[in-house]
Chain A
Amino acid sequence: AQSVTQLDSQVPVFEEAPVELRCNYSSSVSVYLFWYVQYPNQGLQLLLKYLSGSTLVESINGFEAEFNKSQTSFHLRKPSVHISDTAEYFCAVRKYGGSQGNLIFGKGTKLSVKP
C-alpha cells in the first residue's frame, strides 16, 4: 500500500522568503505524484503533478516540485512567497494502473506567510 508523509504540519515564513514543503512517499510500485492547495473554506485545487518525464515540474504561480525516486520525495518549493500563498498544501500519490486508483493524501502542511 502507498503512504505519504508530510514532515511539517505548519510552516511560518515571511513574505518574499523562500519556502520548501517536504513530502515523502512509500510505495512498492510506481506512482504518480501531486500537490494540491486548499485555501480557507474552499475545496482542493491541483497545484502541480508528476506523471513521467522531467523530474522537475512547475506551476503557473511560481511553485515547483522535484521528483526524487532514490529518496522517494516530492518536495514543493517557491523562491519567494506572497501573502496570498497562505493556505494548506497536500501532497498525494496515486498508484499506476490497477483497481486502487484513488489518491492517497498526506496530512497537509499549513503555510502561513507573514508580512
Chain B
Amino acid sequence: EAGVTQSPTHLIKTRGQQATLRCSPISGHTSVYWYQQALGLGLQFLLWYDEGEERNRGNFPPRFSGRQFPNYSSELNVNALELEDSALYLCASSLGIVMNTEAFFGQGTRLTVV
C-alpha cells in the first residue's frame, strides 16, 4: 500500500512568486496535516484538513493557505514568497478525527526561495 506522497520533491522559486505543494494521503485517511520544517526551528504546524474542511491552523500569515479535495488529497499554497519560507514542507495523514491514531508522514517538499 502506498504511503503519503508529496510532489514535487524540490521546488525553487523567486521571492514574490507563488508556490503550490501537493499531498496524497494514505488510502482511507481523511485527515491531512501540513508542517513547515525550517532550519533550527523544528516542525511548525501549519494546517489541518479533515473531510474537506479546515479544522485548525497554526500561527502563520494568511498567505499560507490550502485546501482538501473530495478524494482527500490536499494542496498547500504559499503566496508572495519570502526568503524565510525556504524550508522542508511535510505532509501527514491519519484516520480522521479519531484522536488516538498516529499520523504518517510523506518525504516532504524542499522549497527554496531565492
Contacts and interface: CB of A to CB of B under 8 A. Distances in A.
Query: DSSP majority for the A interface?
Result: loop
A34 B102 contact: yes
Given A34-B102, A42-B107, A99-B56, A107 B42 contact: yes
Nearest to B106: A43
Given A101-B48, A102-B55, A107-B42, 16 more contacts: A34-B102, A43-B105, A44-B43, A46-B102, A49-B102, A52-B100, A90-B42, A90-B43, A99-B56, A101-B31, A101-B97, A101-B99, A102-B58, A104-B45, A105-B42, A105-B45
A101 B56 contact: yes
Interface residues of B, number: 24
A39 B114 CA distance: 26
Contacts, number: 58
Interface residues of A, number: 27
A32 B55 contact: no
Nearest to B110: A41
Interface string A75-94: 00000000000000010001
